[in-house]
Structure formats: C-alpha cells, structure tokens
Amino acid sequence: MKIILKDIPDLQKLDIYESNGGYSTLKKALKDMSPDDIINEVKASNLRGRGGACFPTGLKWTFMPKVTEKPKYLCCNGDESEPGSFKDREIFEKNPHQFIEGTLLSCYAMGIKTAYVYIRGEYYKWINLLQKAIDDAYKKGYIGKNILGTNFSTDIYIHRGAGAYICGEESALMNSIEGKRGYPRVKPPFPATYGLWGNPTTINNIETLANIPEIIKNGHEWFLKIGEPKHPGTLLFGVSGHINKPGVYELETGTPLMTIINDYCGGMIDGKEIKMVIPGGSSMPPLTKEEALTIKMDDASLKAIGSAIGTAGVIVMNEDTDIVKVLERISQFYYHESCGQCTPCREGTGWLMRILKRINNGEGRIEDLDLLTDVSQNIEGNTICALGDAAAWPVKWTVKKFRDEFEKKIKKESVSLPVKNKVHSLR
C-alpha cells in the first residue's frame, strides 16, 4: 500500500498528477464540503503527525480559532535536519503536487490565506523542484486568488532555512521566518493563538500534509484500515547504515523492523549481525539486537519498550560498530546545534560530549557512566524545547542498554595508561 510515493512515472509533473486524479479532491472539497467537514474527516482518520511527536492532526487543527480579525498562517515544516531522516525531500522530488493539494485543503479547512513551506537551505535541489511545482499550480489556478472560481484564496511561499537544527522546532521555525534568531519560544502561548507575528498559526510536517488529499478522497474509514489502528496509515521509512539497500520505503505502520531490513533493504551487509538500531532519527533511544528482532514499527509498540518512532529514520548498525564512538558523534552534533538559550542544554550537551570524548581517548573512568546518566537526566525535561531531550535520550539509553560496551573500553584502555598521565578534566 502506497499513499504518497506511488509507482507512477513522472508524477511530479502537473499534467501527470492531474491525469491520475490530482487536484480532483480539492475541487470536490471546495464544491461540496465545508471547512468543518474536512476537519472532522481528518480528525476521524486519526492521522498522526509525521514530524516526530505523533500528535493527532485533526485535533491540532481544532485549536485554530474559527473567528478572528487576525490573519491566520500555516507553516509546513520541511526543515528535516534530524540525522538519519531524509523522507520529505522524496515528496518534493516525486510527488510535490500531492503535498501542495494537502496544504490547500488544510488552509481551506482552517480559513488560512497564507502558507509558508520551511525548507533547510542545503536542500537546494529540492527547493527548486518544489518551487517549479508551486509555479505550475499557480498558472493553473490551484493557488492564488479565487481558487477554481471560488471565494477561497491562498498563497504558498517557500522560506529557506540557514541550516540550523533548532529551526525544526516549531517556535524556532516561526522566529526564523520572521527574520529573527532561531530561538524556541516559551509556551504558552501556543502557536494556534500566538504564532507568526503574533497571529494564529498551525505547524504541520510535509509528510503529514501529503496524506490529506487521500484521506479526504477515500474517507477516514479507508485510512483507519491501513496499518495499526492507533497509528494508522503508511510511513516513509528512511533506512540507512549497514544494510545492502538503503533508501526511503513507504510501508504500513506496524511493519516489523526485521521485515524492513531483510525484505526491503536486502539484509545486513556481508551477513553480519545487528548490534544496535536507532528507530526514528538520531535523537530516539536505540534498540538492542533482541529488541530489533521482535519490534513492530509504530508509535505504541516503540513507546512500550522506551523508544519512539520519531521521523522513522532508521539507522542500522552491525556487530563491528563502536557504540561509544557513535554516541560521541551524536553528542557532538547536539552540542553544536544547541541554541544556547537554556542552561541545562547549553552546558549539559558540552559536558556529555567531553565525557564521551574522554572515554574514547582512553582516559575514561567507570564512574563516568553514572555521570553521563546523571547529566542526561538533568537535561531531560528541563529545557524550553525538545532539543535537550534529543541530546539526553541517546546518551541515557545507550549507556543503559550497552553499558558493557562502555565498561570494556574504559577497563581495556585505562590499563594501558599510567595513572599519573590520566587527565580527568571535562573541558
């Protein structure tokens, strides 16, 4: 079952998209459905956000005020800076018009006249591809004033980011669009009441919006029958690491992880054993081999074992992987990308990185493992946005699940170093 990345050649072209039913859902909605009809259909479908939090999309839409004198905005989050995630660019390249149609349906449902598509600046190729699709849709009257002869008008603009991970966080994204530094905002107030320039704003992920046309076309009951009922539909799994066929695979939620690895990704390179799998981008708690062998890839299944689906960016590592070095590299990323606004994140991410670097340099101590856990727990839940959690979770859970890897490295390397030469500075 494919909802977004359909096996139709040249679907990115407007005429091909139209010949396969493209924009027919928009025409039907503008003619026969009220905004509330669309919101209720999406709400009944239980579509969950595909950006990482899995929040119910229809419920989020109900937070947008129906009557207000202020302009309302939709922010389409295509920042995609999570290491291991590369799904949204597949939509921009292979089916941009379905995303555009989903954006227009969302704007109609919430009474929005302006949508911004926020894309990281490094996605230069995909920015141009999406802009071409938007331009073509404008020419055909699908975007702009009095769309398809109705009184519904909406404009869509692309906003290029400057490569900051923090701008994937919804309030930092809004600050960036406003031309400010990408600092997350304290909540409340929430974006639905005080978003872009102080006006009501909804933020949705690109993949989330691309599902909307098919849900409105086929109905919520159709969508609920796909995958896991509590997390229905398909997911774009971006799979990388020690596998034979890395790439993006659209599969139903609840697909077993080993089915993805073996049946779609061609199995492990050289037939080696799995050591660790990160299931949803680098910020998600990792899975052990034993967990990977039995886990199904959906929100509830992963939460049950202390992890999360995140962006469905699956990173597979084999038996030869140095887990401690992997964790140091992940920690270095979050230290570099911390905006510095919150003390626990600003100081804690650097602390974690330096401890891990010290262990990898042969200067580690056994007590460092408890220190890593302690620092992680003091970051987690104590910051304005989720970047602190994103930095803390990989460390906290990797140390917990792979402690023997750390102990072996510390004990082996500490023996070869004279005690007088050991340096325990964290800076």
pLDDT exceeds cutoff 50 at 426? no
Q: What is the pTM for the complete model shown?
A: 0.94
pLDDT exceeds cutoff 90 at 420? no
With beta carbons less than 8 A apart as the criterion, state whether 346 and 382 touch.
no
**pLDDT the model gives residue 413:** 59
With beta carbons less than 8 A apart as the criterion, state whether 35 and 111 touch.
yes
Q: Classify each residue of 268-285 as buried b or exposed e, where b means 16 or more C-beta atoms within 10 Å of its C-beta.
A: beeeeebbbbbbbbbbbb
Q: Classify each residue of 196-206 as buried b or exposed e, where b means 16 or more C-beta atoms within 10 Å of its C-beta.
A: beebbbbbbbb
**pLDDT the model gives residue 260:** 98
- With a pLDDT cut of 70, the percent of the chain lying above it is 96
The closest alpha carbon to 274, from 122, 260, 282, belongs to 260
**pLDDT the model gives residue 412:** 79
Nearest-angstrom CA–CA distance, 98 and 95: 6
- Tens-place pLDDT, residues 189-219: 999 999 999 999 999 999 999 999 999 999 9
- With a pLDDT cut of 90, the percent of the chain lying above it is 95
Positions of E strands within 261-346: 274-278, 287-288, 296-297, 313-318
Nearest-angstrom CA–CA distance, 286 and 308: 9
Domains of the chain are 14-225 (3.40.50.11540), 228-318 (3.10.20.600), 323-421 (1.20.1440.230)
Mean of the pLDDT values across residues 58-83? 96
How high does pLDDT run on average in the chain? 95
Mean of the pLDDT values across residues 319-330? 97
> Is the sign of the CA dihedral 415, 418, 419, 421 positive or negative?
negative
pLDDT exceeds cutoff 90 at 417? no
- Tens-place pLDDT, residues 353-394: 999 999 999 999 999 999 999 999 999 999 999 999 999 999
- For the chain, how many residues are written? 427
Nearest-angstrom CA–CA distance, 38 and 48: 16
pLDDT exceeds cutoff 50 at 408? yes
Beta bridge partners of 316: 241, 277
Nearest-angstrom CA–CA distance, 79 and 16: 27
Where does the pLDDT of residue 414 fall: very low under 50, low under 70, confident under 90, or very high at 90 and above?
A: low
**pLDDT the model gives residue 163:** 87
**pLDDT the model gives residue 418:** 44
- Tens-place pLDDT, residues 19-31: 999 999 999 999 9
Where does the pLDDT of residue 338 fall: very low under 50, low under 70, confident under 90, or very high at 90 and above?
A: very high
Give the strand pairing for 73-78 and 201-205. Answer: parallel
pLDDT exceeds cutoff 70 at 421? no
- Tens-place pLDDT, residues 226-267: 999 999 999 999 999 999 999 999 999 999 999 999 999 999
- Tens-place pLDDT, residues 269-319: 999 999 999 999 999 999 999 999 999 999 999 999 999 999 999 999 999
With beta carbons less than 8 A apart as the criterion, state whether 236 and 250 touch.
yes
As given in the structure block, the two tokens for residue 313 are 């960016």
**Using alpha carbons only, what angle is made at residue 273 by residues 270 and 278, rounded to the nearest 5 degrees?**
110
Nearest-angstrom CA–CA distance, 11 and 25: 16
**Helix, strand or coil, per DSSP, at residue 114:** strand
> Is the sign of the CA dihedral 16, 22, 24, 27 positive or negative?
negative
